[in-house]
Structure 1
Amino acid sequence: MIDQNATLNTPDRVTGATASALATGWTVAATLLAPALRLNLYRRAAIGKEVPIRLAERRGIDATPRPAGRLLWIHAASVGEVVSILPVLQALRHRVIVLLTTGTVTSQALLDQRLPQQSLSADVLHRFAPLDVPSWVARFLSHWRPDAACFVESELWPNQLAACRASGIPLMLVNARMSDRSFRLWQYAPRLARRLLQAFTRIQARGDQDAERLKALGARHIESPGDLKFAASPLPVDQAELDRLGETLAGRPVWLAASTHSGEEALIAEVHRQLALVHGNLLTIIAPRHPDRGPALAASLGASRRAAGQGPPPGAGIWVVDTMGELGLWYRLAPITFVGRSLLAPGGGQNPLEPARLGCAIAVGPHTGNFTDHVALLREAAGLVEVADAPALAQFVSAMLQDPAQRRDLAQHAAASIRRHQDLPAITADAMLSLLPARPSNAASDHPSPPLGPG
């Protein structure tokens, strides 16, 4: 079954076809596949990857009235993009109504938590993005009538972009990224890449390398103010729970393996066994990137599990914290952090800036290609240690436990390295607002919403 929830940024090798033919082919294919995509939405809902009562939004159907005035549509595909855009939403507060679309259940759960916390509920309306079926996109645009649209990082859906251009909606690509792999693959379809990228009125690249790659593929009007992930707010925390667990763990050696992926936890368990021989009463906290793996992990490691209502083991042991939205709690409780998805190939890493903002001494494995700039920033500031394997990780954690002064120095260097990027959200918000018309849209009368049809 076709799963159209994946970002279109890695096309298959194509030669000898024009951009027009490729775009037309995609439009025809998406239209023909609409019945299968609709069935796939029900399948995804059955396994928890869609919200059943909101499936209609994925087909552009919505009974919620469009608010009056200027409306800025921002699309942030998943959790990483949402986290990077949250400070921008703060900078836009009281200046424009934001329609924020996402494509994953986890991003919706994050927004349910963060928007009220940051007093953004009145300014930001969340909806799930329509899949890239022409009629579904048309229905979405006809209903919401955005005055401008901004796509975060690498969302290049041909039908969405074409429909926005046909409707005269200015487009911006925000925090644009172009990985090594994506760049190589797009070079096999240069005309399609140029066609998609030139749809954007403005492009803000996350770094100079991304800007050069986008320019090489035909993008215009490119700026490179910096990576929004450098300017993200600290992860939130339940202060009462932090106080409670802080008292429980006071004086105990604690370290955290965060955002781990399959295969890494066995290595973390071996590191724990080695360290526990030297550091009595050691608590190793494992926060898997996908919490649904918690029950199997706890069983295989003989660990206690937070989602099952179990607290940390009283003696040396492992605690699997398989809950959503609590990573900020674990970073604050554990001053020593390993950031996962980096020990084993293919890896790619996870965001090391989140623990850097919260005073952690950070280690990562050798496979961090998805966060090259982030790792380089912290490395150059002497705010991060790269470990080659599990024995090297054990040495790092042991050194940090034995030398609090060294641990504090590493954490302070990391935190200082990202402070200089704090003006990026305001710069990005101003760029977004520059796309909007000077006069608010007449949303109440000029553009009646289409009927909620069955398509």
Structure 2
Amino acid sequence: MRAPDPAPLTPLYQVYAAMTALSAPIIQRVVRRKLSAAGVPPGRIAERFGQPTAPRPAGRLVWFHAVSVGEFLSTLGVIETLRESDPALGILVTTTTATAAGMARKRLPSGCVHQFSPLDTPGATRRFLAHWRPDLAVFVESEIWPRQIVSVHRAGIPLALINARLSAGSLRRWSRVPRTARALLSRFACVLCQTDTTRDAVIGLGLPSERAVTTGDLKASSDPLPLDEEEAARLAPSLARRPLWVAASTHPEEEEIVSAAHRRFTERYPDALLILAPRHPDRADVIEAALVAEGWAVARRSAGDAITGETQIYLADTLGEMGLWYHLAPIVLVAGSFVPVGGHNPYEPAHFSCAILHGPLVANFARAYADMDGQWAAREVGNATDLSEQLISLQDSADLVTLQQAAHGFATAAGSARTDAAAALRKLLN
């Protein structure tokens, strides 16, 4: 099955195609340098250029493309649901970042294949499709790669966009090129949207209305993050009776806010402990140096440092352990919300009954945070002072339990987005 009657390609698309072809050598050098710096082996970097490092599974194959960690995690429930009904179905997952690749290595179900996603250049796209020959291509959230969309459609492969979202900025940009937007969107067999607002937007940009469905946010229906129970039991005694909070998925400039808030928190509670989990653990050296320069006693997870009575900040610079930190800490700041990256997933700490705090910049999860704030399941803080005041006020307060219970209730009441998404994808496959 393929999306019928695609709108004609535009001169703007042709310009894009020509420019990406001409600049392919430059793009490859930049990508190679970036992934090398992140510790990715040369052989795996070649996957970005469409050169496979694994054989194609026999039988039908579904290709999921998710850029980074959050998008990847949102696909896991859909993948599991698809394979429950068809265990022989092959699954290929591609991601762009080294962090997401590390997460895929830990979380992807047995029998599924991970590769780095191909660049949107002629050679990379051609080599990738020639080797993998997917029976269905599934892009996640806001992944609009023009050449890949056109090439997949030309090959007669049905194409879906799931968990789709459009920020106000993205909508403005696409609205300036309506014919090109329609040319690309009309090649999707279906678009499953997080909200009615996104559904209305993609229809307004030219997607036939019968191909757009609101299914809700896949991240809301994801399973809880994995938890190492033995490690939790080992760490618990060193954390007992200490005021404890987690700053999760911090970005540059946010560590300064977190540090300032923790400074005020420790003035009130001298034995308070912060677990600081940066979004990108490869920044840990820089973060640790800045914290030590500020006078903090820092222990580091990746170095195997113990949490002692003198430890004030525990730098959780590892991958795949957020479930552990959410399990141990009663209060979580979900970062990425003080800088313009759009915020991060609030459902993950909600599954662990955490009291959730967040900054004001949460466009990626605007609906979720608005609903959670309205249900007393989360609280917005505007700056370091607000954050410290909330940390202090929640200590030994009935409000802490209220927030924790409301957050957990919100997560467990999330809808059936993944079953609806899996059903739509099965329809395309069949």
Q: Same fold (TM over 0.5)?
A: yes
**Kindly tell me: are residues 279 and 40 of structure 1, through their superposed partners in 2, closer, same or farther at Cα, counting changes over 3 Å?**
closer
- Aligned-pair identity (%): 40
**Kindly tell me: are residues 406 and 203 of structure 1, through their superposed partners in 2, closer, same or farther at Cα, counting changes over 3 Å?**
same
**Kindly tell me: are residues 367 and 40 of structure 1, through their superposed partners in 2, closer, same or farther at Cα, counting changes over 3 Å?**
closer
Q: Which among 396, 419, 423 is matched to residue 430 of structure 1?
A: 423
Name the structure 1 match of 2:369: 375
Q: Which among 139, 152, 169 is matched to residue 140 of structure 2?
A: 152
Q: Give a deviation string over 1:191-227, Cα, whole Å, max 9, x none.
A: 1111111110111011111111111111221000111
The yes-or-no answer on 1:65 pairing with 2:63 is: no
The yes-or-no answer on 1:224 pairing with 2:214 is: yes
Q: Distance in 2 between matches of 1:346 and 1:136?
A: 31
Q: Give a deviation string over 1:152-190, Cα, whole Å, max 9, x none.
A: 111111111111111111111101110011011111111
Q: Give a deviation string over 1:339-377, Cα, whole Å, max 9, x none.
A: 11223x535322222111111001112222222112112
| Deviation of the 1:50 alpha carbon | 4.4
Q: Give a deviation string over 1:246-279, Cα, whole Å, max 9, x none.
A: 1221222111111122222223222222222322
Q: Distance in 2 between matches of 1:32 and 1:266?
A: 42
Contact 1:280 1:316 (C-alpha < 8 Å) held by counterparts: no
| Deviation of the 1:112 alpha carbon | 0.8
Contact 1:276 1:316 (C-alpha < 8 Å) held by counterparts: no
Q: Distance in 2 between matches of 1:264 and 1:148?
A: 40
Q: Distance in 2 between matches of 1:389 and 1:157?
A: 36
Question: In structure 2, the residue corresponding to 1:314 is in which secondary structure?
Answer: coil
Contact 1:51 1:105 (C-alpha < 8 Å) held by counterparts: no
Q: How many residues align?
A: 413
Q: Give the TM-score taking structure 2 as reference length.
A: 0.91
Q: Give runs of aligned pairs for residues 368-407 of structure 1, distance below 5 A.
A: 368-403=362-397, 405-407=398-400
The yes-or-no answer on 1:365 pairing with 2:359 is: yes
Q: Which among 14, 19, 42 is matched to residue 29 of structure 1?
A: 19
Q: Give runs of aligned pairs for residues 4-403 of structure 1, distance below 5 A.
A: 19-48=9-38, 50-62=40-52, 64-94=54-84, 95=86, 96-115=89-108, 120-122=109-111, 124-220=112-208, 221-302=211-292, 303-315=298-310, 317-343=312-338, 345-346=339-340, 348-403=342-397
Q: Give the TM-score taking structure 1 as reference length.
A: 0.86
Which sections of structure 1, spanning at least 5 residues, go unmatched?
A: 1-17, 438-455
| Deviation of the 1:19 alpha carbon | 4.8
Q: Distance in 2 between matches of 1:62 and 1:167?
A: 19
Question: In structure 2, the residue corresponding to 1:149 is in which secondary structure?
Answer: strand
The one-letter code sitting in structure 1 at the alignment partner of 2:366 is: T
Contact 1:381 1:413 (C-alpha < 8 Å) held by counterparts: yes
Name the structure 1 match of 2:5: none
Range moving further from structure 2, 311-320 or 408-417: 311-320
Q: Give a deviation string over 1:291-343, Cα, whole Å, max 9, x none.
A: 22222222222222222222224136222222222111111111111111223
Two-structure CA RMSD over aligned residues (Å): 1.8
Question: In structure 1, the residue corresponding to 2:248 is in which secondary structure?
Answer: strand
Q: Distance in 2 between matches of 1:49 and 1:176?
A: 31
**Kindly tell me: are residues 288 and 166 of structure 1, through their superposed partners in 2, closer, same or farther at Cα, counting changes over 3 Å?**
same
The yes-or-no answer on 1:415 pairing with 2:403 is: no
Question: In structure 1, the residue corresponding to 2:25 is in which secondary structure?
Answer: helix
Name the structure 2 match of 1:11: none
Name the structure 1 match of 2:4: none
Which sections of structure 2, spanning at least 5 residues, go unmatched?
A: 1-7, 293-297
Q: Distance in 1 between matches of 2:199 and 2:346?
A: 22
The one-letter code sitting in structure 2 at the alignment partner of 1:308 is: A
Q: Distance in 1 between matches of 2:399 and 2:35?
A: 48
Q: Distance in 1 between matches of 2:307 and 2:320?
A: 18
Question: In structure 1, the residue corresponding to 2:429 is in which secondary structure?
Answer: coil
